[in-house]
Amino acid sequence: MAKAIHSMIRVRDEARSVDFYARAFGLEVAQRLPFDGFTLVYLRNAEADFEVELTINHDRTEPYALGDGYGHIAFVVDDLDAEHARFTQEGLTPNPIKEFFHEGALLAKFFFVTDPDGYKIEVLKKHGRYR
């Protein structure tokens, strides 16, 4: 069986991105691999084996065009309201909390936040299929 292990995003400022993901999601650098021309940084926390891989191209000066194909990555939390308040206190400017219903039943309660490079990140309350 296949197992998802990481999702990669390209970022311009390593320190700014590492700080964001640490403050927002408690992700820490699991490994940093510098190469000629680029650096790979793998972020994770104790909750899961899945990692966020940051790719930093050393010569990149312009923001990346995310295009219309990028969706989002999602994180699940126990207390969505507390996390939303914490994100706000951290100055991470989360969007308002929303509820999503399917056939009259709550499917998801969530908010989105945007990282320093414009990537959308969904933060969901543990509920139903989102565990």
14 an active-site residue? Answer: no
The position carrying tokens 């923001």 is 63
The pair of three-digit structure tokens given for residue 4, joined into one six-digit string: 């998802």
Identify any residues that bridge with 85 across adjacent strands, giving them in sequence order: none
Exposed, middle or buried, 92 (CB in 10 Å: 0-12/13-18/19+)? middle
Catalytic residue among 14, 53, 99, 122: 122
Active site positions, annotated: 122
